[in-house]
Amino acid sequence: MPVQEFSEYFPKMDTEIVDALYEVYKQTLGHVRSHCQAEYEMICAEYRVPDRLRDLEGSHHNTAGPISEDAARLTPGRTCMNAPSGAPASQGPSVEVVQHAERIARRHALLQEAAHLEDTLEKARRTENRLSAMLAMRQEAVEKIVTTYQRVVTDVKQVYDITRVWPKEV
């Protein structure tokens, strides 16, 4: 997502804050991707997916030859010779199950990312409120100084006017 599209979600925020949020978003997205990739690789290793895929690929190239037990389980429509009455072999995870698991993993990652971005946004809002309060205090202090200087200038002008008139009267 480009920064322009990202900034549309925060129309009333200062560009520096939106840019900072976008950088955090990109970092978070990178961390989530690497975490999901590592988790995916662990799951694939746990279920020996690469071995099963190699067996399946081998069985695809040698359709006339015997296939491994794992490949038979992963191939729909095959029957297990050892199963009673030619019952279908137990199958590995179907495409739908894998796609559903991927959707759940993506949704989980997006929810984590959204929660992190909401936390970051809340921190940015608190910082903005704190800075706004500091700015208001400083503006108030400046206004007090200006008022004081205006009184001093008025007093000095009166003294100046009196000193101009005074020599003429004496």
Choose between 116 and 84: higher pLDDT.
Answer: 116
> Average pLDDT, whole number, for the chain?
80
Average pLDDT over residues 49-63: 77
Of 52-56, 121-125, 142-146, 158-162, which gets the smallest average pLDDT? Answer: 52-56
* Per-residue tokens: 156: 């000095």
Give the model's pLDDT for residue 20: 87
Return the bridge partners of 79, or none: 88
Give the model's pLDDT for residue 85: 45
Give the model's pLDDT for residue 6: 83
Of 9-23, 47-61, 128-142, which gets the smallest average pLDDT? Answer: 47-61
Give the model's pLDDT for residue 119: 92
Q: What span, in angstroms and rounded, lies between the C-alpha atoms of 58 and 10?
A: 53
Burial class (CB in 10 A: 0-12, 13-18, 19+), 7: middle
133-160, pLDDT tens digit by residue? 999 999 999 999 999 999 999 999 999 8
Task: Please give the model's pTM, rounded to 2 decimal places.
Answer: 0.36
Q: Which band of pLDDT confidence, cut at 50, 70 and 90, is reported for residue 117?
A: very high
Residue 82, SS3?
coil
Give the model's pLDDT for residue 93: 67
23-46, pLDDT tens digit by residue? 888 898 888 998 898 888 888 888
